[in-house]
Structure 1
């Protein structure tokens, strides 16, 4: 039987809010124009954004928030499962996720799919935030 540790709801909510805010800042006011240019380069034209879509921005943001809650729950689960007790251990767990799973996936996209480096930099930046920094934020709040 698989053991699924309890993860505090407040930590999941805080993690989801943290991810939503950091993503909104990175892909919005901080680097939004550069990111859109990188996406246009990757997709070959600005037509990748369907401004007439049925799903408006509020619905897309809600969907993204649900995904951020999921990332946070799994991060909390791993923090509790590994029994991370210090901020250093939380940062190490986040770094293992980042360097062991996320960064190799992004680099593989660059190699095999010829994705533009400009776009991949954003994935690496937001990925660092949603692994290493998220684990630290959630550890600080408490996940047990």
Structure 2
């Protein structure tokens, strides 16, 4: 498999999109970090906190969020570039399609099969809307195409 089939995306777009997507996903992870903050306040020493389960869990959530955000950013930027999307309207359509294929099935399962509370489902839907439609709009605004070499 050759890397030439993967569209090139500007590194600044990946950095901006990763920061945006990571911030959006951390909105949903706020309860995890709230319990970590409470544990920091109650621990006697920093070494005690570092060895705690809360610190390991927070680090795992944070690390996986950064890696997942970078992968999602590249994928969305590559889709924007491969489809030739240059307008905000087109980027919002693309983000909406991504939202529909990634979140809608899980939302139906959460509501009808698992009978989760509606506030939980709405929070996940809003977070995913920010993370798909918002990311596509931000990346389209920033620009994902590399500057062509001037010869």
TM-score computed with the length of structure 1 as normaliser: 0.74
Instruction: Kindly indicate whether residue 100 of structure 2 is the aligned counterpart of residue 99 of structure 1.
Output: yes
Report the equivalent of 2:62: 61
1:91 Cα shift? 0.8
TM, length-normalised to structure 2? 0.70
Alpha-carbon distance, 1:27 to partner: 4.5
Structure 1 gaps of 5+ residues are 37-50
CA contact (8 A) 2:92 2:133 kept: yes
Number of residue pairs aligned between Structure 1 and Structure 2: 125
Corresponding position of 1:23? 25
**C-alpha separation in 2, matches of 1:82 and 1:111:** 35
Say which of 4, 9, 12 aligns to 2:11: 9
Query: Contact 2:73 / 2:135 at 8 angstroms: preserved in 1?
Result: yes
Computed over aligned residues only, the root mean square deviation of the Cα atoms, in angstroms, reads 2.6
Provide the residue aligned with 2:126 in structure 1.
Answer: 125
Distance in 2 (alpha carbons) for counterparts of 1:118 and 1:18: 23
- Rounded to whole Å, the distance in 1 between the matches of 2:9 and 2:110 is 32
Rg larger in 1 or in 2? 2
Structure 2: gaps of 5 or more residues: 36-51, 146-151
Alpha-carbon displacement from aligned partner over 1:43-102 (angstroms, at most 9, x marks no partner): xxxxxxxx6256252443122111111111111111111110111111110011113432
